[in-house]
Structure 1
């Protein structure tokens, strides 16, 4: 348990709540059996890199580590998830595996506390990491990595009582304090670096270190990074170097809207709320309130997704919320949960938890498949089944070169039960409903609660209370926004018709009138052993419209039931779901349960609608979080309200190659064609012989160039290449890109987390580092010795 607690309200941590429900418990079992072992396997290369670093420090001959800024952070997050699972169920084999990794991490840390593989071993990339430690904090991720290390170390200490990893974390944090606040003669010429991290996260880790150790230095350092942000250093550039990309444009107290990279922003907002709580101050409250309203009034998708815009993985202008082109990174949704949960703790207002719940149950939960081994990085609200939206895929992926999202899922899922309750001296807050058992300490004694519910699929919740003697306290039941006003707080989404406020509360079978206090049905009385509280939140299908300033949703309706956004998917509807439209609200609906496959047990709802060319029809809906579990196919959330708009959506699914311009290559094999790169046909594997391809066979071992010369200037969103491997064709040794501007070919600067990769059996997608308008692009490809080059497809996304 933490040494330092929040004042006035106490979060009930996940390990104090025993789940016994049919919704979350199976997911925890999947997490233990599949997701965690899979994620540990996928991060083995990060362990190997740390081991090479440790050998370097010890003078043991070994190969040098590969160069990567943040691969260690993925490992730390997975280990944090392992710690949470160990708190729920000790596993000697898993514990021994984590102990072994911790020994390797400790060995990779310098004596002074510095821990960053590539600078320690002189394998750094100057453009990404700077010439020496902490010389390029804006993009090096040095502080981001150790922030996740701190969170993992705290969780493991709480789970096992072992402090070896905690010692590594404290040694690191004290080192960072010295370098950034006091000055260390071995860094930055002895002057304090006095610059905030480019990627926020360390602030949350420092808060956790403070809570578990009581060492105020860690809280002071977290506050220091917040205080100097946008004050001591303001970038001067575009794209990822823009002042607002990492929220460094002005001081935090002067910020009033969500800008820049969404994950960085939401981590920062969460830490601002946390620091205010821990210091019992309101330094950031005014700014946070303005930012929160900017989100819920102008910049958040109905699924709770944040950061709609590709290219910067972040926020666009107010009301810029596309559907098919939406980004909505899984990490951003998870960070949105963190932020809004802390805002609830700060304000004790259910509105914030309403947002956290929607983000958790929709955008966040969509981030992992039902089997627990395939993931979303990007979460659109419409899909055609072919368009690449998910970093090289038209659907889920087993992993990513930038693996922050699957590793974040690995640590989020075991924590979910920690969002279910909070207490003060004489209050119990019931937040997230789920079948569970918990024992809570109040000023008047201990209260045990047994909760039974099928939430979020049904809205009936039952609590059985147990205590040694009668006790007076207030039981506060969250009445979500979706059951009272609108699906989400804020002005962005509105129900077409208001719900009947017929939610009810019963005590021992008798209905009671409850005072609604900041979104909670508040019941104060003297409670007795055996009391039963029943909450009924009716769940009709509700129709929402969007603020008309969101162009993408004009003339469209979204359907929700309870806290879940609903989606139509092609696999249930015998064709592209863009053919459906809704001229009116959905009234009656039929509910069944999927009987087979990986969605067995999932509710499926049939609703009346209209269909292009047919008139009256019906469509089937599933929860948004469950889509793309049965293959890549069309999906939609926002349904047109007229046939012409539905026809426009259907027509937009047709592939067009006009924007590719004129394509030329230095060499094309006689048996192949350059036109394969723009025929819109998607390969199934690198050796797919059913499709035409471009190759350089006949010039094995020779480098090649492919040019796309446009008929005019285009804005490039991304380029995805699908390498071939068959016969004498192999993936390239390396490749780069150029773009044409005013007739000149210039280097293509890729987005900060993208790679000119050579992976097979997927699209390797790169985005420009900043908005790019150009007259053409060129691929410059270096062949392996004795091998030809080949491409099965090239996906060119333009605006």
Structure 2
């Protein structure tokens, strides 16, 4: 049973009820992949040894755990700020459970048991669990309203808390085999089934994720009512009366993705995290029910997001007012919001889109997000974070909504705890399969253990990615077997900065990716962005691939005026930024002539080991007397975007002008 549950962990395996319809492609669970990779293994280990303990400690010191203690006793006053603060405990339990699945730890296991016991004591007799109300049901906080659920369509987050509880409970059960947390979640889910549905209470959840959580419980229990309720919640969107003509996103419903039925939506809209969880939930339900209208809608929405609403380093949610998507091509740099949770949600959604369609473009976006706009959200120390991920920090611009330095935690700490649960599961995004088709999606050293037609197959990767493009894959079947090996050829290695026309390379690369099989060049076929090698594989077969790691200048569509006449720098999957620390105390005065060539140098002592880019550039310089402006030659040093703000506070730049067109005169 434990083995079955671990396969289900990423949300796509069959439960004991033998569901017949599902994603056509299945991911290989992270528990089946053993890493030997410095880049990701070190981050996952830091998450285990630093981030998870720090998260639990901060849940205690901030009163989040005390809220459950008071709810269990039925007395006291909710002592944190947000109605959804329960979820930080659920998410940390989820991440800790993922960690336990691959790294047994008796002390952590016992601590989780104690927390889950407390959560169970806080649950009301009928299954309701929401400390914001349960502590004092007669006098709940203003976000909850006078009765259960009455403000769920707004800001109570009751169902949001439930969804994260289900995700955490599923992870704990799958990792440990214990039903303690799962039984709490099932009791709560049964209350939802009894409360909501046709002929009962109807609501479009104010903050989506309960849909994903219900699907997770459905996969474990086989109880179809959970899947039906997930679909019911999704289908309630667009039924509430809003002022359709209002440009205010709260008044017209776009903030909640509630302005029209989901099947009629064709733009990524509103609060970006809510949106990602909705679209991921729609993908889950579509996979399990065959709903083609859901599929058509999320296909259009994905095209809109990637083609008109995504930053060059993969981040989404440009507007701070509402943590939301802006209009088409509304991607400002100095005020970019880019919540870390939105990047995490994008990873969830893009993996599901790949599992539905089998096209590499979804994994291209997932990789861009993962290596850039997602891990930028956690400091190299594992205990400092960004809630938002800026595109430009300039000394003479004072935007209080843009973070300039990392924080230990936040009053709203959804992002740190979301990272806790995402990082341990990264190995689960590497491989996938559909019958004899075996997909290699990410290039991370280690060994994946698969089964093809009930026969064992191991794939061992050896590489120094993302710093080096040389990749090696050792194929070791238990006995000779027919497999269609599908290795993703990244879009960035095929003259495609992103899978749309939003960004492009200034100069085509024109280098074919070379692949060798047992030392001999192979003339491979391409299908949906994958190099396909079909043969009867035997133990010891080896595939080698060389990806071009040239430094590329990325330009933006002319529909992004802020990026006009500017370039961003990319090498492999990584976007680069100039930071004050390496560039004489400033970064936003750099001009990057078209003639500049770059040298890539790996520096093991810098920022836990990074490849830096250096090249001759110009810098705008103000004379000491403040009476003149000139340019001077300098050496630009650029670091991977994810690594910025680990050495203090100062300027940062992603988009570099190629020439001076005007100078802003600012008093200082």
Same fold (TM over 0.5): yes
Matched, 1:626 2:636: no
Shift of 1:616: 4.1
Q: Confirm whether residue 163 of structure 1 aligns to residue 176 of structure 2.
A: no
Greater RCO structure (CA 8 Å; 6+ sep): 2
Query: C-alpha distance in 1, partners of 2:443/2:602?
Result: 22
Partner of 1:65: 78
Aligned partner of 1:196 among 194, 204, 213 = 204
Query: CA–CA distance in 1 between the matches of 2:243 and 2:471?
Result: 51
The CA deviation string for residues 462-498 of structure 1, in whole angstroms up to 9 with x for no partner, is 1111122111110000011100022111110011111
Select 2:321's aligned residue among 306, 311, 320: 311
- Partner residue, 1:96: 110
User: Which residue of 108, 111, 114 maps to 2:125?
Assistant: 111
CA drift of 1:242 comes to: 3.7
Matched ranges for 1:164-563 at <5 A: 164-181=180-197, 192-231=200-239, 234=242, 238-384=248-394, 393-443=403-453, 445-563=455-573
- Give 1:611 shift: 2.3
Please tell me whether the aligned partners of residues 439 and 449 of structure 1 are also in contact (alpha carbons under 8 angstroms): yes
> 2: distance between equivalents of 1:245 and 1:101?
34
Query: Aligned pair in 2 of structure 1 residues 8, 604: CA closer, same or farther (>3 Å)?
Result: same
Please give the secondary structure, in 2, of the residue aligned with 1:558. Answer: strand
Give how far 1:609 is off: 2.2
| Alignment match of 1:25 (pick from 14, 18, 41) | 41
Partner secondary structure for residue 43 of structure 1? helix
Cα offsets for 1:529-555 (capped at 9, x unmatched): 100011111110101111111121111
The 8 Å contact of residues 594 and 601 in structure 1, kept in 2 or not, is answered as yes
* Count, aligned residues: 636
Q: Secondary structure at the match of 1:462?
A: strand
The offset of 1:512, in angstroms, is: 0.6
Partner SS for 2:419: helix
Deviates more, 1:227-236 or 1:483-492: 227-236
Larger Rg: 1
CA 265–489 in structure 1, closer or farther in 2 if over 3 Å, else same:
same
User: 1: distance between equivalents of 2:380 and 2:42?
Assistant: 10
Question: In the alignment, is the contact (CA less than 8 A) between 2:249 and 2:270 conserved in 1?
Answer: no
Q: Secondary structure at the match of 1:283?
A: helix
For 1:610 and 1:14, locate their aligned partners in 2 and report how far apart those are by CA, in whole Å. 46
Deviations 1:49-79 (A, max 9, x none): 01110111xxxxx533326311001111111
Cα–Cα, structure 1 residues 247 and 564, in superposed 2: closer, same or farther, change >3 Å?
Answer: same
Match of 2:149 in 1: 134
Question: Is the 1:390–1:396 Cα contact (8 Å) retained in structure 2?
Answer: no
RMSD, matched Cα:
1.9
1:184-241 CA-partner distances (Å, limit 9, x unpaired): xxxxxxxx22111010111111111111221111111111111111125657774545
Residue 29 of structure 1: CA displacement?
A: 1.2
1:617 aligns with 2:631: no
Aligned residue number for residue 32 of structure 2: 16
Task: Supply the distance in 2 between the matched residues of 1:43 and 1:412 (Cα, whole angstroms).
Answer: 18
User: Contact 1:144–1:199 at 8 Å: present in 2 too?
Assistant: yes
TM-score, structure 2 as length reference? 0.92
C-alpha change, 1:221 and 1:404, in structure 2 (3 Å) is: same
Aligned-partner Cα distance in 2 for 1:561–1:604: 10
2:657 to 636, 640, 643: 640
Separation in structure 1 between the aligned mates of residue 527 and residue 658 of structure 2, nearest angstrom? 37
SS at match of 1:307: coil
2:163 pairs with 1:147: yes
* Distance in 2 (alpha carbons) for counterparts of 1:511 and 1:402: 53
What CA distance in whole angstroms lies between the structure 1 residues aligned with 2:398 and 2:96? 32
CA distance in 1, matches of 2:100, 2:306: 36
Contact kept? 1:376, 1:390, Cα under 8 Å: no
Asked if structure 1 preserves the Cα contact closer than 8 Å seen for 2:337 and 2:402, the reply is no
SS in 2 for 1:643: coil
Asked if 2 retains the 8 angstrom alpha-carbon contact of 1:608 and 1:618, the reply is yes
Per the alignment, do residues 141 and 389 of structure 1 end up closer, same or farther by CA in structure 2, a change over 3 Å counting?
A: farther
Give how far 1:391 is off: 5.7
Structure 1 distance, partners of 2:525, 2:138, is 62
Once the two structures are superposed, residues 291-345 of structure 1 have per-residue CA deviations (whole angstroms, 9 ceiling, x without a partner) of 1111111110011111100111011111110112100000001111111111000
Q: Secondary structure at the match of 2:487?
A: strand
TM-score when normalising by structure 1? 0.77
